[in-house]
Homo-oligomer: A and B are copies of this chain.
């Protein structure tokens, strides 16, 4: 859980004309400040991460990466100190190729040195991209960076774009190998600030090619990309969908929003403790799409202790009228000889008391909206 600059701030390097929104230590520090003062830290968000464009265009005379001196005048080590002083952790971006996606120096030929640099700077998370490199090198390169990061002795979360690039090129990722090297990994396209993009990602995860959901678990996670909750493109219903589905999918929950002017409703959703509890469930089993009924997708996620689960009803339609759906206990995954209480997953209000497998349940789901249950055996 944390905050990542990319989706909201992209590669804005123009601090002369846009000092408040360019990628800079000022921006990262102000987000760190707000993560604490606005309750995001207390809600569980811990990593504050710069994506691409933090760098200088050249390496230093010692071959080391260096931050852009104008936008990060104090350097990354000082930034890490600042972030640590807030009780948070710092994430940083690099790329396996010879350049980053935006054209800054990449790690090719420098894997070990860059890993050591990040450790020396006391970075806590490395997002490792795959632009400007050979697909055929990935099976070597991503594990190599993992090896060098581990070799530094500093624990750093290691995020890989590895399967995303393979998927883009029609190659089935080897998730066994990926999980061995990476702590989390992007499976699919970059999220954009639109419902179409969020739904497209949900459906890639629902289709679950390569059965990658089974690889999620403590130590390694599928990443459907950043939350765009609080940005410009989602309706209140659609924001609820993203937050709830990202919880269902055991996603890393990386916000990418301007915390200086986030709407109250969006903030409350990002800090929803019931959804976060589901997201952070200790067993770490990823939710999957069980089936589809017309425009409704039904997803379930087993929770801790066994017998508990979350069930989401996602309405992908935009046809004006909330959709009413009646489902059976069997369809919800209820079992014989067990009684269940059913709660609204958003607020923990009990909706049904001591229900059994033969009962029916009616849900009303807004267009591009979601209803989500948390189900517990009595």
A12 CA to B256 CA, complexed, in Å = 40
A318 interfacial by beta-carbon distance below 8 Å? yes
**Interchain CB contact under 8 A, B10 and A233:** no
- A residues 353-372 near B (Cβ < 8 Å) are 366-369
For the complex formed, measure the closest distance between the CB of A201 and the CB atoms of chain B, giving whole angstroms.
14
Known: A8-B320, A320-B9. A193 touches B368 (CB 8 A): yes
**Interchain CB contact under 8 A, B231 and A193:** no
A337 interfacial by beta-carbon distance below 8 Å? no
A195 interfacial by beta-carbon distance below 8 Å? yes
A263 CA to B321 CA, complexed, in Å = 17
- A residues 1-25 near B (Cβ < 8 Å) are 6-10, 12, 17-18, 21
Residue of B nearest to A197 (CB): B318
A331 interfacial by beta-carbon distance below 8 Å? no
A320: chain B residues within 8 A (beta carbon)? 6-10, 192-193, 228, 231, 256
A324: chain B residues within 8 A (beta carbon)? 17-18
Known: A194-B195, A195-B195, A368-B193. A10 touches B319 (CB 8 A): yes
**Interchain CB contact under 8 A, A194 and B234:** no
Among A106-114, A123-131, A209-217, A235-243, the one that faces the other chain is A235-243
**Interchain CB contact under 8 A, A367 and B235:** no
> Measuring CB to CB, which residues of chain A are less than 8 angstroms from any residue of chain B?
6-10, 12, 17-18, 21, 192-197, 228, 231-238, 256, 263, 318-322, 324, 366-369
